[in-house]
Amino acid sequence: MPKQTILKQILIWRAKHISHKQFVYILSIIIGFTSGVGAVVLKNLTHFIQHLLEGNLIKYYHHAFYFLFPIIGLTLVYLTIKYVIRNKVSHGIPSTLYAISKRKGIMKRYQMFGSILTAPLTVGFGGSVGLEGPTVATGAAIGSNIARMFHLNQTSRTLLIGCAAAGAMSAIFKAPIAAIIFAIEVFSLDLTIASMLPLLLASLSAILTSYFFFGDDVLLPFKIEDKFIISDVPFYIILGVFAAIISLYFTQVYDKIHTFFDKINSPIKRLIIGGIGLGFLIYFIPPLYGEGFDVINNLLVGNAEKALENNLMQMDLTNIWIVILLLFGLVIFKIIASSLTFGAGGVGGIFAPTLFMGSIMGNCFAKTINNCGLFNTPVSESNFTLVGMAGLLAGVLHAPLTAIFLIAELTGGYELFIPLMLTATIAFGITKYFNPHSVYNMQLGRKGELITHDKDHAVLTLMDIDKVIETNFISISPKMNLGDIVHQAIVKSNRNIFPVVSEKNRKLLGVILLDDLRPIMFDQTLYKDVTATDIMQPAPEIIELEKDKMTDIMQKFQDSSAWNLPVIKDGMYFGFISKSKLLTAYRRQLINHTKEN
């Protein structure tokens, strides 16, 4: 039996026996499972490559492989994308956000396997990025295509993409509550009963899948031993400020390096420049190799020397200030290494680099307090390491609740809840003031194409400008006289506005309103003497299709009080947008956006 026939029968049976809401619940469980499997595959492939390379070749042969492996890995990624996938594989979470805001939640089929093929090659060969973003993107693509297969609407597609994100994070970190909050914060999902239960089901399904394959293994196997002391509050406040500064540094470096590589048109040149730069960094600073969770775990158990034992200069690690200096160097150079990985064409995420930098930042801060000789009571280095991760997550990702609950869940308790809240809130507040958009949505936010928790803004962002443009207006040449205007435009049109357009380059010169024509249109003595140039007027506002966002268009209608505004495309007249049609489209989109499943 053909696949189309089977699918059609399933759809008919589902329509008769299962409500839409129940069907979304079932799909959320399936998508949670697939996201969990995706996380398992990505992790196992990456760790297999790392074990094969780092465990044998580097350990027993030569340190120079730290330089060669990232270049080899990035070359393999380039070849895989060009000859196997044959489509661009974008960064995980930003590409998912773009699909939600500009593609109505539709993700292409190759995105279901693109990251699985390329991310393990990137990270396994030493690319200084994480696997969380690719895992989320893989799950989101699967969720989007399952929703399309069953003909679900845009609202349901977006919800299932959120379920995939929650499932991926739940499977990776074994933190189901933080995973749900992550989906809500990062993907700006509406927190309603209709959306909450699918997210719960997906997160639960994914974590059960993860336990089935991984057992009790977790990324950060650490239990809190040192209790929170109220006298440490001033230090946590300062740590929050410090985390904000590092977050701003993170964002600026990422943005500048990203912009630099965007200006290079040749992917081969990007590969050479980024690959060689990354190879040099990892050769001189081996802890930058891969995700870096081994370094984090060593810091948590108070074994900083183990994390730094491969330093090429063989500096004296018994001197605590040399240890602090080397650790701080990791904070400075990790984001450079991550950005070079992306610039060279690598596929990965920034979640792991953020945790890496945050943990080292918190550990450095605590070590400085304990060894500067100014304070009598030492602070817990492991606690500050954990809280540092939360502070940087909150600042870089603009996801303070995710940061708080993730660290709390990872450590198996909430003893540090107060310092986590304090540091994350301060870091997020300061960073948000200077950088309105996170690293994930920086590019979309600048273009006004980002879905936010502001419902009005979200609805406007989801609206399609092309669908509200009308092109059936009769254009008038500036040389046309009144008689021609009456016989060739007014008589043939049911519109009350006419664009005056140059014949040579279709440039909009002005508009003529029917109200301006009524006093003279029946006076035939004026038919040859009055031309379009005499009676036209400037348009109250002009909409530039390539430049103006939907929010800008709404503002122009409000400021001008006009009912019709002309649209310019590539410098030429294109059509009009009417206020009535725009508001009708807005109301329709609002209904779809808020409709409960």
Instruction: Note whether 406 and 376 are within 8 A (CB).
Output: no
pLDDT of residue 391: 95
Specify the pTM: 0.77
Structure-token pair, residue 278: 């990354």
Residue 2: pLDDT band by 50, 70, 90 thresholds? low
SS (H, E, C) 413-456: CCCCHHHHHHHHHHHHHHHHHHCCCCCCCHHHHHHCCCCCCCHH
Q: Poorest-confidence range of 38-42, 162-166, 513-517?
A: 513-517
Mean pLDDT to the nearest integer, 294-305 = 80
Query: Packing angle between helix 267-284 and helix 65-80, nearest 10 degrees?
Result: 150
DSSP 464-509: -GGGGEE--PPPB-TT-BHHHHIIIIITT---SEEEEE-TTT--EE
Q: Does 449 have pLDDT greater than 60?
A: no
Q: Does 452 have pLDDT greater than 70?
A: no
Query: Packing angle between helix 381-397 and helix 293-300, nearest 10 degrees?
Result: 140
Q: Poorest-confidence range of 103-107, 203-207, 275-279, 356-360?
A: 103-107
Mean pLDDT to the nearest integer, 439-452 = 56
Percentage with pLDDT > 90 across the chain: 28
Q: Which helix (H) or strand (E) holds 83?
A: none
Q: Does 56 have pLDDT greater than 60?
A: no
pLDDT of residue 431: 94
Give the C-alpha distances (Å, rounded to integers) separating 455 from 191, 437, 467, 591, 594. Answer: 12, 17, 21, 11, 9
Q: Does 472 have pLDDT greater than 70?
A: yes
C-alpha closest to that of 583 among 424, 442, 468: 468
Q: Which helix (H) or strand (E) holds 546?
A: none
What does the alpha-carbon distance between residue 245 and residue 271 come to, in Å, rounded to a whole number? Answer: 30
Q: Poorest-confidence range of 182-186, 310-314, 386-390?
A: 310-314
Q: Does 446 have pLDDT greater than 50?
A: no
Domains of the chain: 3-214 (1.10.3080.10), 230-448 (1.10.3080.10), 458-594 (3.10.580.10)
Q: Does 419 have pLDDT greater than 90?
A: yes
CA dihedral 283, 288, 292, 295 (to 10 degrees): 80
pLDDT per residue as tens digits for the range 274-298: 999 998 998 888 888 888 888 888 8
Count the residues in the chain. Answer: 597
Beta strands 572-578; 564-569: pairing state: antiparallel
pLDDT per residue as tens digits for the range 12-21: 777 777 888 8
pLDDT per residue as tens digits for the range 344-361: 989 988 888 999 999 999
Residue 121: pLDDT band by 50, 70, 90 thresholds? very high
pLDDT of residue 236: 95
Q: Which residue has the higher pLDDT, 134 or 554?
A: 134
Question: Number of helices and strands (H, E) in the chain?
Answer: 26, 6
pLDDT of residue 464: 66
The mean pLDDT value of the chain amounts to: 83
Mean pLDDT: which of 187-191, 214-218, 366-370, 373-377 is highest? 366-370
Q: Does 593 have pLDDT greater than 80?
A: no
pLDDT per residue as tens digits for the range 231-241: 899 999 999 99
What does the alpha-carbon distance between residue 201 and residue 194 come to, in Å, rounded to a whole number? Answer: 12
What does the alpha-carbon distance between residue 147 and residue 144 come to, in Å, rounded to a whole number? Answer: 5
Q: Which helix (H) or strand (E) holds 567?
A: strand 564-569
Instruction: Note whether 532 and 500 are within 8 A (CB).
Output: yes
Q: Is 311 exposed, middle or buried (0-12, 13-18, 19+ CB in 10 A)?
A: middle
Percentage with pLDDT > 70 across the chain: 88
Instruction: Note whether 346 and 77 are within 8 A (CB).
Output: yes
pLDDT per residue as tens digits for the range 4-37: 677 777 777 777 778 888 888 999 999 999 999 9
